[in-house]
Copies of this chain bind each other. A is one copy, B any other.
Amino acid sequence: MPHTVQHGQPSAEMQQCIDECLNCHSICTTTVSYCLQQGGKHADAEHVTLLLDCAQICGTSADYMLRGSHLHTQTCATCAEVCRACAESCERMGDDSVMRRCAETCRRCAESCGRMAHAGAHH
């Protein structure tokens, strides 16, 4: 298993995934406030729920990797799915630089988590 955490030395790929998850957690948490302040379609219940979902699973997934848990492949797989759904919801908001930045962050996190989930499935 190439991705088992040796203390203080996660693989470069896992460290990148941890960073993407923490970053996506932060952006989604901040974006909830932005959307509530914007109101209108930005404050749509389903959209805000997705942002909250994404922030939470990203934090959970990062913690599994930080703890060196063997089960991070499970949380990374779920995280990748939630990030993709959140990115799509942000992209549907149209031309808004905040939503675009959030969508891009979610896409990067989804790709990184997808690689971690896939790598784990082979070992």
Contacts and interface: CB of A to CB of B under 8 A. Distances in A.
A76 to B, nearest CB: 10
Interface of A is mostly: helix
Contacts of A77: 78
A98 B7 contact: yes
Interface string A91-111: 000000010000000000000
Contact of A53 (B5, B52, B56, B64): B64
Interface size class on chain A is 35 or more
A87 interface: no
Given A56-B63, A74-B82, A33 B68 contact: yes
Interface of A: 5, 7-8, 18, 22, 26, 29-30, 32-34, 36-37, 39, 43-46, 48-50, 52-53, 56-57, 59-60, 62-64, 66-71, 74-75, 77-78, 81-82, 85, 98
